[in-house]
Amino acid sequence: MELLSSNKSQGGVQGVYRHASEVTGTDMTFSAFVPEHAPGAKLPVLWFLSGLTCTHANVTEKGEYRAACARHGVILVAPDTSPRGPDVPDDEAYDFGQGAGFYLDATEAPWAARFRMRSYVEQELPALVGAEFPADMGRQGITGHSMGGHGALTIGLRHPERFRSVSAFSPIAAPSRVPWGEKALGGYLGADRGAWRAYDAVALIEDGARLPELLVDTGAGDPFLDTQLKPELLEAACSRAGIALTQRLQPGYDHSYYFVSTFLGDHVAWHAERLKA
């Protein structure tokens, strides 16, 4: 693991790191904020998954989470959104290819060899974080924004035994039913829609996946609200399944990090309450 940058902030350390990933066959970059803590202490971990076109840098530079993480003693880890590099397949569109990994393991050529973000986020990166940071891997939460909100919900629903808390900002709640998701899932996984269901939060809930509760914030002024996000589908699925969903439409807010940064501290506190030892 190579340290790319290190900055003191809120009494802790904000680092950016690079490592050679066996899962993707590329170098991968991620950021981690570690609050000030007593020697030998182990801190809970909150994962933040970013959205389309983003890298680790978007939330790291714009998220305004460090004060809350320092106050509550929570490590925040932000991975990249896809493998990158000249040997990695790409697409001219912003919503497919590099920067748009959708937190899945692709099965279609030419994407299958490199686009394995599900395995990277679920297996390889947690093993690295657990080995290299003062992280209590028995206390994990996960959140994310947009495509990353989709990732947080689906990963959390597939691993309820691992994550004590799951939240999201403006998630693509039912990607099988919206243009962003249909393009990505069809391109990476092929035409069999049955294979898509493992990467669709609403479908996972319909198929029996359960979490005790969810927190979701979405901007009421989000231009993608009706066409790509469809929070009403998540609300209906949670209602039928008996999942306690707190879904807040925030008046006047859009899809940007002005919105995310406003409420990310609230989410850190919400996760911290559920990640207590």
Catalytic positions = 146, 222, 255
- DSSP-derived secondary structure for 12-31: EEEEEEEEE-TTTSSEEEEE
Spatial CA neighbour of 163 closest among 110, 99, 209, 231 = 209
Cβ–Cβ < 8 Å for 63, 268: no
Pairing of strands 12-20, 2-9: antiparallel
What's the distance, CA 183 to chain centroid? Answer: 19
Residue 233 zone, left/alpha/beta (φ > 0; ψ -120 to 50; rest): alpha
